[in-house]
Amino acid sequence: MTEDKKTSAQSFTFKAETKQLLNILIHSLYKDKEVFLRELLSNASDALNRVHFEMLTNQNVLDADVELNIRITADKDERMLTIQDTGIGMTKDEIIENLGTIAQSGARNFIEATKDAEEDLAQVIGQFGVGFYSVFMAAEWVRVTSRSYKPRAKAVSWYATGEDDFEISPAEMNERGTKIEIKLKKDAEEFAEDYRLNTIIKKHSDYIGFPIYIGDSEEQANAQSSLWRTARNEITDEQYNDFYRQMTMEFEEPLYRIHSVTDAPVQLFALLYIPSKAERGMFSARKEDGLKLYSRNILIDEYTKDLLPEYLRFVQGVVDSEDLPLNVSRETVQSSGLMPRLKKIVTGQVMRELEKMAKKDVEKYISFWEEFGVFLKQGIASEPMATEKVQPLLRFKTNTNPEEWSSLDDYVERMQEEQKEIYYIVGDDPKSVLLSPHLDYFQSQGTEVLLLTNPMDSFMLMGLTKYKEYELKSVAQADVDTTEASEKESEAEKIPEDEFATLLELFKETLGERVEDVRTSNRLSQSVARLIVADDNFNPELQRVYRYLGKDYEDPKKTLELNPSHSILKSLLAENIEADLQKEIIEQIYDNTLLVEGLHPDPSSMASRIQNLMEMVLDK
């Protein structure tokens, strides 16, 4: 600084909150110091947008013909970094207001938000309008020289070291705009490397709508032209896929893409992708869920989780809103009232596209369902308000169509006359559930039953209790008319009632307190026995949920129902069968029912009994 400038410099003291804020920024550790460059480039882009808007209605602007751009120059030996824009510039009063008290409305809130020592402060810098001050994470001192777009305005300089004071002085600057000179700290000299600057620009500011140049190069460091703001008919499939690969570093092409633009109720550009696989690739660049959020081509948040519900977290892509003020947030925007509106729009777009895919490209939708269906089930379990929207997207396999996926509408169309409920059965795997004794009656009647064998199904059923006018009912608890089945059964040779009563007592005596009761079944045709809970208020799905969550729960005693026409039970009453063999068979029948229900505490314990039964049979 020259001698005459020193004499004309004025010293100002930062406000108390600003001092405290500077202390936080200078003396705290951050995960990403590079955030300061993102903030300064965002401010420069703001300045360029403002002067561009001014020139639309005002021809009396200094340097009206100058290119709107940002230029970054670095001197590694001197540890100097300079960022200069041809934006709107600032007058003396504006530079004092903007840089001397810029945080007067946000500093106090920022400080409150960062009291938690575990908070990553770099994540909330932009939320309270204190972005400029992040430069002191990397700077020993900063000088900002600016000249306003107003032709008669004079250049002014602002200088600070991050201490209590800053200085304002006259400056020499012929061109319009702002120049920020930064003396880098020794541990921040990496930011004087051109390759490092290129990397940061590509990550955070690649789609700023004005050229960014590094050094004397006339080649842009940023792409500038954002794909999501380009007309769909001007983009090839290859360009769409290249952008996806660049963003995610995934080798496989996306399964589906959504490119949309809305003007009302808010202006929004979105380019979204559904990956081909739920699991991220080994070299994926996207390590977290969330969309990239831009405001006017400025990256605000790399992983925004507030634009889609949790059950759509697999969607990747970019959302850019003209209506999101840059001075509200750079990274964390939960406090903005705009976010719920953006979320509603983006969620609606995704759901409509999924419905469209399900109707017009069934094969692709099935591929989607097999990868991401569990996420939609989670949506019904965790977000009751989403149930109605998600229901049409659900797909199931059934006992009558075990190899094909069916929607609930498909099921309803195939329902039998007089059927009032949608039946389902919950099991541990697709093959064993088809062997469940609870299906006996429904199989014999040709009644279709949804097969639910994914752990998430039990959680889903907590929210999916009805579809249209049809209640969902478990086959284990369904109240069905067995009159016709009983008539058919009467034709079969059933065990006489007095003999069967003896058999029931034998089961009760053998199983003791392990069962609530043993009784005759009017529902079984192929199976020997089944376990049920007689209490109509019992919820087996809730029991499974507790089990999956590892929570303690009281497993109610169950009633064992026996099939009076089954050949095994008839043989069990034979006069020549030994009591020991009789008891072992009863124990095995009970264990089999536990196994089918997924309730057996130790299936391997059956091995010794099965071996014993084989020896007994061979001895005979």
Residue 123 has pLDDT above 50, yes or no: no
Q: CA nearest 28: which of 123, 104, 166, 100?
A: 123
pLDDT in the model for residue 541? 64
CA distance to 375, 482, 507, 563, per residue, from 529 (Å):
36, 17, 11, 6
**Rounded (5°) CA angle 555-556-561:** 120
Give the number of other CB atoms < 10 A from CB of residue 11. 11
DSSP state of 415: P
Looking at 387-539, list the stretches that DSSP marks H as alpha helix, in order from N- to C-terminal side.
387-390, 408-414, 430-433, 440-445, 455-460, 483-491, 497-511
Instruction: Point out the least confidently predicted range of 176-190, 304-318, 492-506.
Output: 492-506
CA separation for the pair 256, 254 (Å, rounded): 6
Question: Is the whole-model pTM more than 0.85?
Answer: no
Residue 153 has pLDDT above 90, yes or no: yes
CA separation for the pair 302, 31 (Å, rounded): 14
- The pair of structure tokens assigned to 52 is 């561009």
Mean pLDDT (the chain, rounded): 84
Instruction: Point out the least confidently predicted range of 397-401, 474-478, 550-554.
Output: 550-554
Q: Of 15-29, 211-225, 470-484, 490-504, which has the strongest mean pLDDT? A: 211-225
Name residues whose C-beta falls within 8 Å of residue 471's C-beta, 6 or more positions apart in sequence.
420, 421, 422, 465
pLDDT tens digit string along 65-78? 999 999 999 999 99
pLDDT-based confidence at residue 1 (cuts at 50, 70, 90): very low
DSSP string, 345-384: HHHHHHHHHHHHHHHH-HHHHHHHHHHHHHHHHHHHHH-G
Asked whether 146 and 88 are in contact (CB, 8 A), the reply is: no
CATH architecture of 362-474: 3-Layer(aba) Sandwich (3.40)
Residue 494 has pLDDT above 90, yes or no: no
Residue 437 has pLDDT above 80, yes or no: yes
pLDDT in the model for residue 298? 76
β-sheet with 298-304: strand ranges across: 256-262, 268-274, 316-321, 291-295, 298-304
Residue 364 has pLDDT above 60, yes or no: yes
pLDDT in the model for residue 16? 60
Mean pLDDT of 427-449: 89
Mean pLDDT of 503-511: 94
pLDDT tens digit string along 566-595? 999 998 988 888 888 899 999 999 999 988
pLDDT-based confidence at residue 103 (cuts at 50, 70, 90): very low
Mean pLDDT of 94-118: 57
Residue 87 has pLDDT above 60, yes or no: yes
DSSP state of 136: G
pLDDT in the model for residue 332? 45
pLDDT tens digit string along 519-573? 998 888 889 999 988 665 556 666 666 566 666 666 778 899 999 999 999 989 8
Residue entry with tokens 């009017």? 522
pLDDT tens digit string along 9-50? 898 877 666 666 666 666 554 557 887 898 899 889 888 988
CA separation for the pair 368, 256 (Å, rounded): 9
pLDDT-based confidence at residue 334 (cuts at 50, 70, 90): low
Q: Of all residues in the chain, what percent carry a pLDDT higher than 70? A: 83
pLDDT in the model for residue 97? 79
Q: CA nearest 489: which of 439, 423, 444, 443?
A: 444
CA separation for the pair 315, 323 (Å, rounded): 23
Grouping H, G, I as helix, E, B as strand and the rest as coil, residue 234 is helix
Mean pLDDT of 85-109: 73
CA separation for the pair 330, 326 (Å, rounded): 7
If one compares 223 and 185, the residue with the highest pLDDT of the two is 185
pLDDT in the model for residue 125? 43
The number of angstroms, rounded, from the C-alpha of 548 to the middle of its chain's C-alpha atoms is 21
pLDDT in the model for residue 282? 65
Name residues whose C-beta falls within 8 Å of residue 236's C-beta, 6 or more positions apart in sequence.
none
Name residues whose C-beta falls within 8 Å of residue 510's C-beta, 6 or more positions apart in sequence.
583, 586, 587
Residue 264 has pLDDT above 70, yes or no: yes
Asked whether 231 and 219 are in contact (CB, 8 A), the reply is: no
CA distance to 502, 510, 515, 535, 571, per residue, from 560 (Å):
15, 12, 7, 13, 19
Regarding beta strands 156-160 and 165-170, do their DSSP bridges make them parallel or antiparallel, or are they unpaired? antiparallel
pLDDT-based confidence at residue 117 (cuts at 50, 70, 90): very low
Residue entry with tokens 């700023």? 208
- The domain ranges of the chain are 3-214, 227-360, 362-474, 494-533+555-619
Class of CATH domain 494-533+555-619 = mainly alpha
If one compares 504 and 209, the residue with the highest pLDDT of the two is 504
Residue 308 has pLDDT above 90, yes or no: yes
Grouping H, G, I as helix, E, B as strand and the rest as coil, residue 529 is strand
Superfamily of domain 3-214: Histidine kinase-like ATPase, C-terminal domain (3.30.565.10)
CA separation for the pair 309, 240 (Å, rounded): 24
| Domain 3-214 matches domain 362-474 at the CATH topology level | no
CATH architecture of 227-360: 2-Layer Sandwich (3.30)
DSSP state of 577: -
Mean pLDDT of 372-395: 93
Q: Of 229-243, 304-318, 321-335, 564-578, which has the strongest mean pLDDT? A: 304-318
3-state helix, strand, coil in the chain (%, to 5): 45, 20, 40
Looking at 383-447, list the stretches that DSSP marks H as alpha helix, in order from N- to C-terminal side.
387-390, 408-414, 430-433, 440-445
Instruction: Please state the φ and ψ torsions of residue 462, each to the nearest 5 degrees.
Output: -70, -25
The number of angstroms, rounded, from the C-alpha of 190 to the middle of its chain's C-alpha atoms is 34
Residue entry with tokens 């949804």? 450
